[in-house]
Structure 1
């Protein structure tokens, strides 16, 4: 979004037009709506802004639910925003630690600040991008004096009177649409600056889940978060926000359920064992936190192979930290053998999973020439006995 588009949008007529537009459902709808709005005499800047916002609001429903219908976004800001349910859980840490005034440095479009303000905390929300800060101010306006929004660099903010900090460093190139990932040394503010701040005051730092673990300092809690099968972020907690005795945590959300696994350090994996009646796929947060061993012990399971994040067991057990599959048949990892087994089982729809083998699932699926009426899961992996294809069913 350009400043001219934002200026056209942030008027009573512009916002009223956006609220009456609804969400364009397809490209054809967008073209038709643009033509209609232009015929009605609306400026190009306003038409571009309202149509773009309508499309972003439709996408934002997955992160913000019904709140999306009264928010503004940039494409990059929406992509990088924290889901509201996760932001609310983060906010609860500050409240439970007795921290009443929080600076949200790098607030983006205001997703995390919404969570903080929504449970009654005072928030200073700051972003280095002028347009993004203006959008955050609009999104946070319902909280009145409880939220102050500023356009500034995180490094330049006076933190006097602030109890704690929430930080989401800019980890991509500047812009409101297409952006590219940056290395940790090029973040804004830099990771070194962020970690230095975390040494002196209670801080929560939102980072990408793939952060080099060597960059995680001692004395902080590292919490990886998975939502509906995707590992979405790593949060480092310091000071009063870090839980005593917890250095590693895996927080897993699926649908309406949530569960967390914590430990004082990385845990030791269970030994490799032969394939059993079940295969378990640990959630990404569990893998990133290196807590697979703890999950394996609760399932009476072992690893399928060294360095492969699949577990196997004979016990009919599962947990919130894995997806469990009942093994039907173990096959050679060869297309003819797999095809024959799928035909015999009348399987025409397969979910393909793979670890430890250099295979493109989409290309492999085409080779199978699927037909049949039933569904199954095909797990392509390496085991202690070699490369195999496991025909299985979700439990």
Structure 2
């Protein structure tokens, strides 16, 4: 999503393509290309003849990526690149994060990318969004305009704040002491020229931590978006709160929060389940939970954010759950008294993970396994479902994990 102050900006062969992308002519061409579906050789050739090869390439790229933008941000004439939207924060998470920013503060969004977080931040206070890539900055400017039009049409408070998008080095625009800093540093390792994986060590962040941390410490507050597995020095833990956020079944990001509302040393896990719905669990001191090798009436699979934050035992202790064989596996309790950070399952059968015994138990229940969840075992769910055979009956979930010296299995249903 972002481009840093010492990464090269990606330019277009035709400099006129950049401002043209958000023109009515370009947006109409993108709309037509999106409606037509996958580009054929004939349609591509016709478009190249009509508007030129550089503009045609930009139109087809934007049309192909728009579907992903709609999936993340909802309906709208969004303008994005494929990589830009892949790295952009989706609307539900961006809205949740924006609500943690004090209303009315001036906001600086460094490395804003195509505008995923900038759009929601623009509802909280005056916004200055900055990215070094001219095409990306133009897309962010367009998307902010679309967002403002949508907000104005729906009478949502907040759209009256001014917003500005600047194409420049972020360090040329330092936020004042009373402002809020939002930053999404690039997390791709320079050594990975294919760009297929992300670095997890803070030394590979661009801009580097040593450059942005002093700025973040001097403002009223800051939110730094990181990959879930990013390792930060102890200094960062002592300065503020670290939060892991999940959405749609996976942990999407880690955030370092600095400011008065983010007590140092706090660890938080949050699941965002909708535009205005989120559930959090936070501690400042980790807790231990009890362990057992006996499954009770309910089994629980903890949310990816809880596991990524290292809060499995703390959450289990707070909710009265016991770890089945250890905190890396599933949890159990006699009662179902959890929130959205744990998925409950009503236990119908539990025992050793033996295929013959499992088939017998499934037949006795008159069910079929439609879902398999694995912890600590080298099992492939599609293969297991195929081996279990039955295709009709009550839909069951198979939970399998190592419990002490044996492999345990649970047949359950979602309540």
Report if TM-score (shorter chain) is over 0.5. Answer: yes
Using the alignment, how far apart are the partners of 1:391 and 1:14 within structure 2? 55
Return the offset for 1:128.
Answer: 2.7
**Aligned position for 1:211:** 230
**Aligned position for 1:322:** 342
Using the alignment, how far apart are the partners of 1:381 and 1:35 within structure 2? 52
In structure 2, relative to structure 1, the CA distance for the partners of 1:382 and 1:23 (3 Å cut) is farther
CA contact (8 A) 2:108 2:128 kept: yes
**Aligned position for 1:304:** 324
Using the alignment, how far apart are the partners of 1:373 and 1:324 within structure 2? 21
Kindly report which structure 2 residues correspond to 1:101-180, keeping only aligned pairs within 5 A, or say none.
101-119=106-124, 121-141=125-145, 146-160=162-176, 163-172=179-188, 179-180=196-197
**Aligned position for 1:49:** 58
Kindly report which structure 2 residues correspond to 1:79-98, keeping only aligned pairs within 5 A, or say none.
79-96=86-103
**Aligned position for 1:13:** 25
Q: Does 1:226 align with 2:246?
A: yes
Cα deviation 1:150-174 (Å, max 9, x = unaligned): 2233344333476121011011268
Using the alignment, how far apart are the partners of 2:311 and 2:189 within structure 1? 33
CA contact (8 A) 1:223 1:236 kept: yes
Q: Does 1:390 align with 2:386?
A: no
Return the offset for 1:336.
Answer: 3.0
Return the offset for 1:56.
Answer: 1.6
CA contact (8 A) 1:103 1:124 kept: yes
Cα deviation 1:98-156 (Å, max 9, x = unaligned): 5x21111110111111111123x111211132321222122224669822222233344
Kindly report which structure 2 residues correspond to 1:176-325, keeping only aligned pairs within 5 A, or say none.
179-182=196-199, 183-201=201-219, 202-212=221-231, 216-242=236-262, 244=263, 247-255=266-274, 257-272=277-292, 274-325=294-345
Return the offset for 1:33.
Answer: 7.9
Using the alignment, how far apart are the partners of 2:23 and 2:63 within structure 1? 16
CA contact (8 A) 1:168 1:205 kept: yes
Return the offset for 1:44.
Answer: 3.3
Secondary structure at the aligned position of 2:165 is classed as strand
Using the alignment, how far apart are the partners of 2:337 and 2:161 within structure 1? 51
Using the alignment, how far apart are the partners of 1:232 and 1:81 within structure 2? 11
Structure 2 unmatched ranges of 5 or more: 1-9, 149-159
**Aligned position for 2:153:** none
Return the offset for 1:213.
Answer: 5.9
From the two aligned structures, give the one with the greater helix fraction: 1
Using the alignment, how far apart are the partners of 2:269 and 2:348 within structure 1? 30
CA contact (8 A) 1:246 1:262 kept: no
CA contact (8 A) 1:325 1:392 kept: yes
Return the offset for 1:42.
Answer: 4.0
Secondary structure at the aligned position of 2:229 is classed as coil
RCO comparison, higher one (Cα < 8 Å, 6+): 2
**Aligned position for 2:154:** none
Secondary structure at the aligned position of 1:51 is classed as helix
In structure 2, relative to structure 1, the CA distance for the partners of 1:154 and 1:2 (3 Å cut) is closer
CA contact (8 A) 1:185 1:191 kept: yes
CA contact (8 A) 2:48 2:56 kept: no
In structure 2, relative to structure 1, the CA distance for the partners of 1:101 and 1:179 (3 Å cut) is farther
Return the offset for 1:385.
Answer: 5.7
Return the offset for 1:35.
Answer: 5.0
- Aligned residue pairs total 385
Using the size of structure 1 for normalisation, the TM-score is 0.86
Using the size of structure 2 for normalisation, the TM-score is 0.82
